[in-house]
Chains A and B, each alone.
Chain A
Amino acid sequence: MRYIEPHAHMVSRVTDDYVAMVTSGCAAVCEPAFWAGFDRSSVQGFHDYFCQLTEYEPKRAARFGLPHFCWLCLNPKESEDAAFAKDVLAIVPQFLDRPTVLGIGEIGLNKNSRNELKVLEWHVDFAARHDQLILVHTPHLEDKFKGTRLTLDVLRADSRIRPERVIIDHVEEHTVKMVLDAGFWAGMTLYPETKCTPARAVDILDGYGQERLWLNSACDWGVSIPLNVPRTALEMRRRGWSAEAVDRVIYQNPVRFLSQSPRFRVE
């Protein structure tokens, strides 16, 4: 079995996770820029984080034979301070040409506030001006439905945005249809308590087709399971999916989307 982990926060994980992923068939890992669990106090803090994502973490992954790619941005949990967000966005161009950067992400909304929305619009404009792929985070729990709708409004309002170059992540049963109907890719995050379980993710694949969907563990510093993509492959097999059908969802789909960036390469 082979798979891509298209959304994992490896800077928060231990080296044993790399070993487990690679020995389970992981062929590449992609790391969106994210909240550290606390607010960074300066633009320099983001500078250092972007260095970690583009320099140190690819080296650490390479020690286990795993290609590591990343996405850059200021995440929605830190975008309430719009002036600060603007300063952070101003340093992103320094990193855009680095060889493992795939695009802008994970941008989006958290509590669906006006400032978050403004910062989302800046990121979308930035991605359009720099011709970057986009990875969107959708809010948690009670805020997800509203936030997904607001995000789609922002993306659709910008005529430069091509839906096939945008993935909207963390969809569930109540948001997947609006994302796919609008032509975007959708990501399902496999968490033990929130978002999707493996069983529900396979229900969604059964119900909404398998063309523009991918699976990820979004493992980070919180309760999360780095091997949840291969565990969901097991769920598919238990339900009678063929090995080829499983491969299409956990390997070929992410490769198809990510290969829109010339930097994304897997053996």
Chain B
Amino acid sequence: MTRQQVLDLYFLDARHKLIEIAAFLDRVDRGSGEADFRLDAFREAMKHLADGEPKRAETILMALSDPTREPIGIAPGKGAIGAWPGRS
């Protein structure tokens, strides 16, 4: 696809998601109380959007991943939350 074709197909969709992220960050700012490591992880990951490097999707997924190698002792529950607390 040409860049023009990519823009024609995806610009409005990406614009919509960008504004959703902006509105999410505003909403968090307006909230009361403390945030947690997820917000730090989100802000860190977001930096890769503007760093001009290729493979941004992969880099952002890695920024939100547990990079360690050792299995953990006991599963604390069943769910995942989307960011790794060990990074902050």
Contact = CB atoms under 8 A, between A and B. Distances in A.
- Please determine whether chains A and B interact with each other in the same assembly: yes
Contacts of B73: 113-114
Residue from B62, B68, B80, B84 having most chain A Cβ neighbours under 10 A: B80
Interface residues of B, number: 30
A114 B9 CA distance: 45
Interface string B38-69: 00000000000000000101100110111111
B62 A174 contact: yes
A253 B58 CA distance: 25
Given A113-B75, A115-B75, A173-B55, A141 B62 contact: no
A172 B75 CA distance: 23
Contact of A141 (B13, B71, B74, B80): B80
Interface stretch (A143-151, A183-191, A225-233): A143-151
B56 to A, nearest CB: 9
A143 B75 CA distance: 11
Interface in A107-154: 110-117, 139-146, 149-150
A238 B79 CA distance: 35
A142 B71 contact: no
Contacts, number: 81
A111 B67 contact: no
B10 interface: yes
B1 A172 contact: no
B16 interface: no
Contacts of B13: 199
B78 interface: yes
Contact of B67 (A114, A146, A203): A146
A143 B80 contact: yes
A173 B59 CA distance: 9
A111 B76 contact: yes
Contacts of B74: 80, 113-115
A143 B66 contact: yes
Residue from A80, A140, A174, A203 having most chain B Cβ neighbours under 10 A: A174
A149 to B, nearest CB: 7
Contact of A173 (B9, B57, B78): B57
Interface string A149-162: 11000000000000
B19 interface: no
Interface of B: 1, 5, 9-10, 13, 55, 57-58, 61-62, 64-69, 71-84
9 cross-chain pairs, A with B, having the tightest CB-CB distances, nearest first:
A111-B75, A141-B80, A140-B80, A145-B65, A173-B58, A174-B61, A113-B75, A142-B84, A173-B57
